[in-house]
Every structure is written in structure tokens, then in C-alpha cells.
Structure 1
Amino acid sequence: MSEPMKDAVVTMEEVGGRTLRTAAWRLDKPSDHLPILFFNGIGANIEAVAPLADALPERGFIMFDMPGVGESPEPLIPYNPFTMSWTAAQILGRYGLGEVDVMGVSWGGAMAQHFALQHPQRTRRLTLIATTPGMAMIPGNPAAFTKMANPRRYIDPEFMNEHFATLYGGVDKDGAEHQKDSHIGRLKPPSPRGYLYQLMCMIGWTSLPALPFMSKETLIMMGEDDQIVPLANGKILKAMIPNSRLVTVEGGGHLFLLTHADESVAAIREFLDAPESEKEAGRTSAFAA
């Protein structure tokens, strides 16, 4: 996974008045599996999660930089989860994709929930990583939250290195130090406006009332040592989503997808490859148009 972007096809897609840098892996190759639509964490560019696309070579994979993040141009006006879910569906259409497996981490996990609720016909299974039901979340460590809200973590590698354990936890595992340095090297700073609009996007949003109507098989993955999104949030999601299962990564922090990559990928693959249940298809959603 030394060059996770080398096989990506990167394009600039104009959708709904926005230009978004989009990366796709293996969508032109035959596969027995549906592609994955991935929503990234706040302020994070495509490269930050590209190793996951590289670690699932049997599947197509698609994600995009949010406005003002990575190499997507500055947003002109604010956006909300409805807007960006519609935008993601339009991007899928550009690639000729119908149904996909939807996945998101942290902020992107909230977007993944909303996409699955707004576009149930496009969503087969849902994977939620280190995330919450939105404003109705159990808050994390205040020290981590203060540093999380500071975009300096993307701009200043020394700041990120110094506060990595506070921000993300789970750095005691063998190999985690190398993964940390590799992750920091892949980050590109978001613009101040891009970061602000991403924060604004989820103000007042919660999936909680709609989650009992979520008809999709859902995998919830949480880190035992997550300082930003405590494990209790995953338990709330598990209690509210009918067809869900919760996997707790022992010793994992907010970036367990990175520090515990093999364990995480194995759990994701096992979930996505499992036979379909009788309840899996055909039910509608509270957010469906």
C-alpha cells in the first residue's frame, strides 16, 4: 500500500454548480462485488483514506474531496447533508453506478447515514466508522475536541505529530508510529472557508429519529480508545438501527482504520461478503424522496 493513489482515476466533476475532485479505483474492471462510495472525515482529502481503497482490490471504490478540501475548489455558498447526498448520487450517475455499498468515517459517517436514508435505492449495505448520530452524540475528551476543531492539525505537521495521541488515541500498537507518519504526510490543508462550511453542514443535524427506519444491513465500527467519538455513540447507533452489528476495535483510537488497518479491513470484508438477509432489500426510508 505504498502508493495507494497510483491506480486511482482522478477527475474534476461539475455537479450542481460545484466542482469536486473525484477519485475512482477499478470501476472499469469486472468484479463480483458492488463498488464502495466513501465519505471522508472533516477536512480530510482523498489521499488520507486512499490506503483503504488499496486494501480492498477486489472492489471498485469512489470518493471525492468536499468543497474547499483537498483539491476541490472553494465553496461559494454553504451546503447541507441533503445537498451533498444529492451531489454524491449525481457523481455515481456520472460513472454509470446504481447500487453501491456506502461507507463513511467520523464526519463522513454522518454523511453516509444521511445518504443511505435519502437514497435507499442506491444503498445496499452501510458501514459506519468512528461516528455518531449527529448532534445527539455523546461528546469526547474536551482536550481532543479543542484540537480537533483547529484546522492547524492539517496545516502544521509538528502540531499534528505533537497532539496525535490526544486527537486520535490508539498509537501504542506495533507499526502505529509508521502509520501515523504516513498519514500526516498524505494530508493537505483545507481552506478556512472549506473547513468552516464542513463544520456548518452538520449544525442541528441528527439521524436519530430516522434510524429505526433504516432498512439497510449496517456495520458499526468503533475504537475502544477513541478520544473524539466515544464508544457509547456506537452503542447508540447499534440500539437504534434494526439490522446492525457493532464491532469494537480493542485499543483503537479515532483513526483505528489506519492504526489497526488489517483488523479493520478484515471486519469490513467479512461484513460486505456475508450472504444477504431476507430483510435486506425493498424497504423504504423516512428520508426517501
Structure 2
Amino acid sequence: MASAEISIENVGGRNLRIARWRLDEPSDHPPVLFFNGIGANIEAVAPLAEAMNDRAFIMFDMPGTGGSPDPVIPYTIVTMAWTATQVLDRFGLGVVDVMGISWGGGMAQHFAIQHPARTRRLVLIATSAGMLMIPGNPAALTKMANPRRYVDADYMAQHFETLYGGALDGTKGKGGHMSRLTPPSPRGYMYQLLAMLGWTSAPVLPFMRKETLILMGDDDQIVPLANGKFLNTLIPNSELIVMEGGGHLFLLSHKDESVSAITDFLDAPDETELSAAA
């Protein structure tokens, strides 16, 4: 995290811990706005921000997670998507490429739907259409819903493979990921769960025209591959890439493949550029 600028900012009436990478450096690419998984803090995805070193990158801890203070009242996915636009405005960012993983993939979808003028392309990682998701392994889901995985290192280590698949288990990436986690507050975790209650993007996705990359692991016990196929069916301009042997954390276990797929997608010319070239 040495390369990130981090500060607590009052944005949209909320105090949020916000991390920025390379905002003051010239780039030929739009910045990336990233939405994290439930209960996860900025540090959990810092390796991705650092690997994508040719573009600016911004993300924030949700209220009650990482270094963001507890929310006073519950929030909704609508209010947090609006808050994200205020974060962009705070740092002078206009149109961005939007990415999200797991719970944050729902936030990313909703941001693109609610604020299409601020969204160029969309990257969805190990995520679903919300309420209509195909459920994962019950053993993994019950442990995923338990915030103890953030607080108790032994609990996390014992259930790591059940939660995240075997690809990262036994590697140095496992220890690195665990060391970067900060437990959310009970209120922060509960409010994140409530924010998605009853939400689904499914009815709207067929009308969304954003170019979208969907990345899924075929060994994901939390968000099974079928969810990515469902998203791919719903979103007209979408591409699905499957990480073989990838669990829920394939972004770490298959880091090079994931970064390559994301950058290739984000850097591909759009239809306007192709028409001009022709």
C-alpha cells in the first residue's frame, strides 16, 4: 500500500476511507473505480491496483469496514452508487471503468445502470445478478455470512478452502490475503448485507449497453459459474472468461491471467474507434 494515497474524506454526508493510486500521473486510460467484496477492506484488493500500474485506480471502504467509520443509519445500493459519484467528483474524475468483485460486483452493476454517463466499461468478478443468484455450496455460504472469518485467524485458516476453493490454499497468496484483512464492525457487516436485500439487476441488464467482461472461477463455492453464464446471457455486450480451477479468490490465485484478461478487455478499441480506423 506504499504506492497509494489514503485519507478519510467527508463525501455525501459520510466519512469514508478512500485510497487512490496514480491519480496525478499521466495515462492514456480512464481511471478504474473498484467496489470490494462484503466486509473487505481496501488492502484486500491492493495487489490488483498495484498490478494495473498504467492507469489510475480508486476505491473506498464501505461504512463500517476497513477504516471507514460505522454508518449511523442503514444505506441502500442506490445511495452508495450516488455516493461513489461524489467520491469521483471529490478527486476530479469524470468517466471511469467500473469493476467489482462478489458483493461489489452488484455495486458495480448498479453503478453502471444508475450512472451510465460516468461508466465506460464494466468488469464483473465472481459475482451474480443479486437476488436471483444461483446459490453456492451451503457449507461455504454459512461460513461466508459469519464475520468471524475476519476476526479469528484460526477459523479463517481452518475453513479457507471451503470458502475460497483450493487454488490459493497452501500458497503464499493465502497468508498474504489473510494478513491484509481488517475485520468489519458488526454494524458495518450487517448494513452491507441489508443494502442488497431484495436487489437484483436481472430485469435491467438486457437494456444495458455497456461493454462488459465477466470473470468467473469454475471452482467457486460461493458464487458458482452458473451465475456468470446467467449474466452473460442477460448483458448484450458481454464476454465471459472462466478461470479453470479458480475459486472465489481467483483474482489472487490466477493473478497474472486475471490482470491480463482485464487489461486486454479495457484496452481493446471500441466500435467508434474501429469504425474510424476503417
Give, in whole Å, the separation in 1 of the partners of 2:168 and 2:34. 27
Give, in whole Å, the separation in 2 of the partners of 1:216 and 1:24. 24
Alpha carbons of structure 1 residues 152 and 172: separation in structure 2 relative to 1, 3 Å: closer
Shift of 1:171: 2.2
Shift of 1:16: 2.3
Partner SS state of residue 183, structure 1: helix
Alpha carbons of structure 1 residues 133 and 90: separation in structure 2 relative to 1, 3 Å: same
Give the corresponding residue for 1:181: 175
Shift of 1:278: 4.3
Shift of 1:172: 6.1
Aligned length, in residue pairs: 274
Matched, 1:200 2:194: yes
1:231 corresponds, among 218, 225, 232, to: 225
Shift of 1:177: 1.4
For the 8 Å contact 1:170–1:256, the answer to whether it is kept is no
Give, in whole Å, the separation in 2 of the partners of 1:213 and 1:15. 30
Give the corresponding residue for 1:155: 151
Alpha carbons of structure 1 residues 6 and 172: separation in structure 2 relative to 1, 3 Å: closer
Give the corresponding residue for 2:267: 273
User: Counterpart amino acid of 1:223?
Assistant: G
TM-score, length basis structure 1: 0.93
Partner SS state of residue 81, structure 2: helix
Shift of 1:279: 11
Partner SS state of residue 271, structure 2: coil
Matched, 1:90 2:86: yes
**1:50-129 correspondence runs (5 A):** 50-129=46-125
Partner SS state of residue 146, structure 1: helix
Shift of 1:186: 0.3
Shift of 1:53: 0.4
Partner SS state of residue 50, structure 1: helix
Give the corresponding residue for 2:252: 258
Give the corresponding residue for 1:132: 128
For the 8 Å contact 1:39–1:111, the answer to whether it is kept is yes
Give, in whole Å, the separation in 1 of the partners of 2:109 and 2:273. 18
User: Counterpart amino acid of 2:197?
Assistant: I
User: Counterpart amino acid of 1:77?
Assistant: I
TM-score, length basis structure 2: 0.97
Partner SS state of residue 171, structure 2: helix
Give, in whole Å, the separation in 2 of the partners of 1:61 and 1:15. 18
Give, in whole Å, the separation in 1 of the partners of 2:214 and 2:166. 18
Give, in whole Å, the separation in 1 of the partners of 2:149 and 2:168. 20
1:173-231 superposed Cα distances (whole Å, 9 cap, x missing partner): 8xx61001000000000000000000000000000000011110000000010000000
User: Counterpart amino acid of 1:90?
Assistant: Q
Give the corresponding residue for 2:30: 34
User: Counterpart amino acid of 1:255?
Assistant: L
Give, in whole Å, the separation in 2 of the partners of 1:113 and 1:53. 20
Give, in whole Å, the separation in 2 of the partners of 1:214 and 1:158. 43
1:33-53 superposed Cα distances (whole Å, 9 cap, x missing partner): 011000000000000000000
For the 8 Å contact 2:133–2:227, the answer to whether it is kept is yes
Give the corresponding residue for 2:9: 13
Structure 2 gaps, min length 5: none
Give the corresponding residue for 1:219: 213
User: Counterpart amino acid of 2:138?
Assistant: P
Give, in whole Å, the separation in 2 of the partners of 1:97 and 1:171. 36
User: Counterpart amino acid of 2:191?
Assistant: Y
Partner SS state of residue 164, structure 1: helix
For the 8 Å contact 1:170–1:254, the answer to whether it is kept is no
Give, in whole Å, the separation in 2 of the partners of 1:88 and 1:200. 18
1:105-135 superposed Cα distances (whole Å, 9 cap, x missing partner): 0000000000000000000000000000000
Give, in whole Å, the separation in 2 of the partners of 1:34 and 1:170. 34
Give me the identity figure in percent.
69
Give, in whole Å, the separation in 2 of the partners of 1:59 and 1:164. 32
CA RMSD of aligned residues (A): 1.3
Alpha carbons of structure 1 residues 170 and 218: separation in structure 2 relative to 1, 3 Å: farther
1:26-68 superposed Cα distances (whole Å, 9 cap, x missing partner): 0000000011000000000000000000000001000000000
2:45 corresponds, among 29, 44, 49, to: 49
User: Counterpart amino acid of 1:78?
Assistant: P
